[in-house]
Chains A and B, each alone.
Chain A
Amino acid sequence: MYIISQSETISRIYQSLENTKDLLVSSLIYGEAHVGKKSMVSKLYKESIWVSGENLKDIQKALNESSYVVITNFEKVTDLDFLDFENSNIVAICNSKTISSRLEDKFAFIYHIPSLREREDDVKLFSKEYIEEAKKIYNIDKEVEIDSSDIDISKNLKSLKSSIYKSVLLKNLDKSDIYKILYNYFYNNYEGSNIYKEHLEIFEKALLSAGLDIYKSQLKLSDVLGINRNTLRKKINEQL
């Protein structure tokens, strides 16, 4: 069973879809973009013909060729009356937070997939998955912990994945990686008449902020940095 979810709602939807996969019924799955609609359907409906709702002719062709059709981007279908779902197993995937009653009447079953904001447990589950994926891709062996403030679920799984990959990568850069990043950045932004001062802050601001977070005291920090306390205070005033 497909279980990349801790949500009871998702499990029930999956079970219901599984129950109907051999029947000649039409189901509509809707919800915000990137909440896992397509991946759930693809687990069960691999054999169906997949078409996009952008092109009515493609849908019609698929319906003529097979009784098992998955229509993605259903929100882009322009003419509902044009589609005859009788005697077919249809799964329509719609990227929309709500649906019209006309659309609802077209289908035997309607499923709403909640956003990640409504699935706190799933955020934890997917974060764990993506951290492991990112570690494999970036060849990282040690444990990586992600700050909750670095997690972005504004665009559901899409933004969650990218924020976690980014966070894993940033937490595991070595000196040469940072050098390369800075080199590329400077190389692409070498314009103006005050470049030294402008670009120095990229380095200095991060160095001072991290030091203050660790040592909490300017006196201690000036010792560690090996600079005069007054110089440190001046730099903090300038940069932070």
Chain B
Amino acid sequence: MNSSEIDYKFLLEVDNNPIVVFNHSGKILYLNSNAEILMSYASVQDIFNIALKHAPKEYGSKTTQIELNYNQLNFYAINVSYNCDEWIAVRLYYRPREKREKKSPKNSNILTNINKLLDIAIVQFKIESNTDIRLFTDQDLPETMINQNGFLKLLRKSLSLFKSTAYLDITLKLGIGEHIIIDGQRYSLIDLKFSSSGRHCTHDDYIKELANELCLVSNLSEKSVYFEIPLIRY
């Protein structure tokens, strides 16, 4: 077998990092399966602009370290390549995710309705803030075992990051096709996301620490705070 028989398109397709190829006007010519996930969070124009901004001056390839966040997708670098004027390709490199295996917290978890805790935290938040809250929650979410005190503390701290913003979108829904392993057991996830036009960053370290203590996966970016909550029902 010689190298010409290698299915390079297949290799691109299964690459763990998103790869997008644009034509000269920014239309997508090709995207691999990982890029399809990325495009559900990022705009085509945004990715095209990034590719143009970081393209090499001459034909060739250039890698740039750049922090990009699209919801829970975080990238630490991009590579932009082209060898003619008809197309340009960008590959985004995933930041290695935190190990999604955790140890269960001390035995202080109680079967809890997350929606109820979120409502309570919002009532408290509204005492001191005029931020317009837009709620997108799944009211049929199953109850989960969680430390109520710690989780409410986390909600209060997270909400306080958006105290001075005009609006705050809050999404609470069941994570599809995602899981976390705690003490060797596999659990589905509940996704909780706070996002706005910006936010304070004053408690980021404390929030990460608190989330970790509660066995939550946290992701804090420039405009959003995102948690994955294990759905534990024993």
A26 to B153, CA, bound (A): 9
A86 to B110, CA, bound (A): 11
Which of A12, A15, A85 touches B149 (beta carbons < 8 Å)?
A85
Chain A stretch 56-93: residues in CB contact (< 8 A) with chain B: 85-87
Chain A stretch 1-37: residues in CB contact (< 8 A) with chain B: 9, 12-13, 15-16, 19-20, 23-26
Q: Which of B106, B119, B124 has the most CB of A within 10 A?
A: B124
Which of B106, B148, B150, B156 touches A23 (beta carbons < 8 Å)?
B148
- Which residues of B are in contact with A by a Cβ distance under 8 Å? 106, 108, 110, 117, 119-120, 123-124, 126-128, 147-150, 152-153, 156, 206
Indicate if A108 sits at the interface (CB-CB under 8 A).
yes
Indicate if A50 sits at the interface (CB-CB under 8 A).
no
Residues of chain A at interface, number, CB under 8 A: 21
Q: Is the CB of A16 within 8 A of B124?
A: yes
A232 to B212, CA, bound (A): 84
Q: Is the CB of A87 within 8 A of B123?
A: no
Q: In the assembled complex, which residues on chain A have CB atoms less than 8 Å from the CB atom of B128?
A: 112
A162 to B206, CA, bound (A): 45
- By Cβ-Cβ distance, the 7 closest A-B pairs, closest first, are A108-B152, A108-B153, A12-B127, A86-B108, A19-B120, A16-B124, A25-B149
Which of A9, A26, A86 touches B127 (beta carbons < 8 Å)?
A9
Indicate if A126 sits at the interface (CB-CB under 8 A).
no
Q: Is the CB of A24 within 8 A of B149?
A: yes
Q: In the assembled complex, which residues on chain A have CB atoms less than 8 Å from the CB atom of B117?
A: 23
What is the minimal beta-carbon distance from A18 to any residue of chain B, in angstroms? 10
Compute the total of residue contacts between A and B using a CB distance below 8 Å: 51
Which of B106, B110, B119, B123 touches A12 (beta carbons < 8 Å)?
B123
Q: In the assembled complex, which residues on chain B have CB atoms less than 8 Å from the CB atom of A12?
A: 123-124, 126-127
Q: Which partner residue on chain A sits nearest B123 by CB separation?
A: A16
Contacts A86-B108, A86-B147, A87-B108: A25 and B152 contacting too (C-beta < 8 A)? yes
What is the minimal beta-carbon distance from A21 to any residue of chain B, in angstroms? 11
A17 to B108, CA, bound (A): 21
Q: Which of A13, A19, A112 has the most CB of B within 10 A?
A: A19
Contacts A25-B148, A87-B108: A19 and B153 contacting too (C-beta < 8 A)? no
Knowing that A19-B123, A23-B148, A105-B206 touch, tell me 10 more A-B residue pairs with CB under 8 angstroms: A12-B123, A12-B127, A16-B120, A19-B120, A23-B117, A24-B110, A25-B149, A25-B152, A109-B124, A112-B128
A87-110, CB under 8 A of B: which get 1 and which 0? Answer: 100000000000000000101111
